[in-house]
Structure 1
Amino acid sequence: MTPEDIAYAAFGATPRQSDESDTDWENRVARTGQKIALAVSNPETTIMRAIARAIPAPDDKPFRATIVDVRLEKRSKRTIVETWSEKNASADKIVKDEHGDDMPPGHEIIRTPANFPGTIDALVCKELTTRAIALMGHQILVFKILESFQKNGNTLKSRVMLDMRDLGVDDRFEVIYRTNARGEKIPSRAELV
Structure 2
Amino acid sequence: MSDVLKFLQQRNSAPRLCAPGPDAAQVEGLLQAALRVPDHAWLQPWRFNVITGAGRDRLGQVFVDALLANDPLAAAAAQDKARAAPLRAPVLIVVSCLVQPHPKVPRDEQLLSAGCAAHSILLAAEAMGYAGVWRTGSYATDHTVKTALEHEPSQEIVAFLYLGSRDSEAKQLPLREVDNYVKYWNQ
Same fold at TM > 0.5: no
Higher helix share: 2
If you compute each CA radius of gyration, which structure gives the higher value, 1 or 2? 1
Q: What TM-score, normalized by structure 1, do the two folds share?
A: 0.28
Q: What TM-score, normalized by structure 2, do the two folds share?
A: 0.28
